[in-house]
Chain A
Amino acid sequence: MKISIEEIPRGEEEEIIIRCHEMNEEVMALLHKLKSSGEQLSGICGDEIYRLRLSDIYYFETVDQKSFLYCESRVYETKLKLYEFEELAAGTRFFRASKSTVINAGKISHIKPSLSGRFEAFMDNGEKLLVSRSYVPSLKKVLGL
């Protein structure tokens, strides 16, 4: 696919134009990725509501019917359900890692197999998360393997 970048004067609005033969799966995925890259979510921490960028989220987790967004050093509660977050993050680096977590592969430092038949994902902020073996293909897919 040919990529063209045109620099425009400061006053003009920036835009992305996709020229394609048809709206196939590849184009749709690209479109979704572009739309969600600047996506913002609401997260509650204490009594305050924060706007969070999807790319700043390390992982999403549901615990006892509640959902949480984990960033580098803070945790925010969210009203989103796991499937809603998955839909929102589709086409990005997020992947389903277990029954209750969706991890941002872009924030994983490295992974290690565990004797329990699962994988441990070591995050950039030092946290350690579990990845079920059945979801490893999803991780490989987001990494382009």
Chain B
Amino acid sequence: MQLSPELMLLMTILVPAGAVLGILATDRYPNLREGITIAASLVLIYLVSSLYGIVSDGGSVQLLGPDLFPGFSLTFTIEPLGMLFSLVAGYLWLVTTVYSIGYMRGHGEDKQTRFYACFAIAISSVMGMAYAGNLFTLFIFYEVLTLSTYPLVTHAGTTKAKQGGRVYLGVLLTTSILFLLLAIIGTWHTAGTLTFTRGGVFPAEVPTLVTGTLLVLFIFGIGKAAIMPFHRWLPAAMVAPTPVSALLHAVAVVKAGVFTVMKVCVYIFGLDLLSILPTTNVMLYLAATTVILASIVAMRQDNLKARLAYSTVSQLGYITIGALLATSAGVIGGSMHIAMHAFGKITLFFCAGAIMVASHKTEISQMRGLGWRMPITMAAFFIGSLSIIGLPPTGGTWGKWFLMVGALDAGQWPIMAALMLSSLLNIAYLLPIPLRAFFSGVPPESPLQIKEAPLPSLIALSVTAIGCVILFFFTNPLYQLAKAIL
């Protein structure tokens, strides 16, 4: 069966959305329900892979949707950055689904149908974002993503979960409605178009004051990129079940944020314009501050998920820096880091979840000596940490490498310094966890009956950990994609 590329594009969005119906219909039959989820994710992987084949052969796919208002249509185009994002999200959805089955059953969570359904909607909107052909389409799916992940954050239904949900929704909606929507309407008003265009859309005669202001609005408006002071939602979202934190708050949602930043910088402003804007440096230093501060805060967290959350805030800052450096190496580094960090961070979250299910431990200080009880989990955690820090032989190395080169090209010494300092901090807050787990002996209070996590979870976290290593050696396709963005 040979589908036309346009149809495949449409299907990437419709398949997860369609899966929602199936999931809702099979509420009573958990096995069937999870079967549908897995089937949908397999189909999705097939679709994004074949689309990747087309794009890497130099083909282009475009789909013009209906006009929403006169002049604004739902348009989808595939370009390398979106392709990269959708590949990462598509593959990791399958892995996460496998993991969730173990986790949700192991943890005996209720309302699982709502969980899987919202998850599928979120993936559908991620696909919509990845392939969005204009800012308008992107914004629509951006908001759908926010709303569909809200029930996942408040899944537990406790007061704490509700409060977390309020912060989550409050920050994300506030920034997106107040700043992002204003920036989009402002862009349309000054440039007359919202279509993503290589080299930017703003005519040369637009004063840099206006475009500079718009840049600030965009960077603050894309709350999902978690630039301080709008990062609070991410730690708040950690009340969600761990698979949610893993896929959405390490991969889909946050990456959607930095992906949007990247898209806006490259396709709305254009690197040439970006490099002369008066506010670019301000935003750049703000991102650098976020990187450092978030790392420092991460060191002070004892709760594992909270530490990982702040680490994510910090790593997202890297990608924003990559976009704002306005050099080709910066953009390449930033986009590669989207993928590399995704694999690294999801591994860490999977491990955190596995530890929680197997031993009911959430605080780092309780995890001494856990390494010998859960060797696979902790080994995976070690590999994931290496990738986040950016040490060989893991994929994270390459993203950071190109970011450094980008900073060097742009002559931004302070940024170089910030990146290096942050890497040191990364080592300080991540590596002690697996090291202490293995090398501090078994403390007496640790009960002996702790065993490894459920098998599906173990498989999932091993796969992503191995992925981190593979990405170090077979990094060329990713590099080609990232290079093709410009």
Same complex: no
* Chain B residues within 8 Å of A, Cβ to Cβ: none
* Chain A residues within 8 Å of B, Cβ to Cβ: none
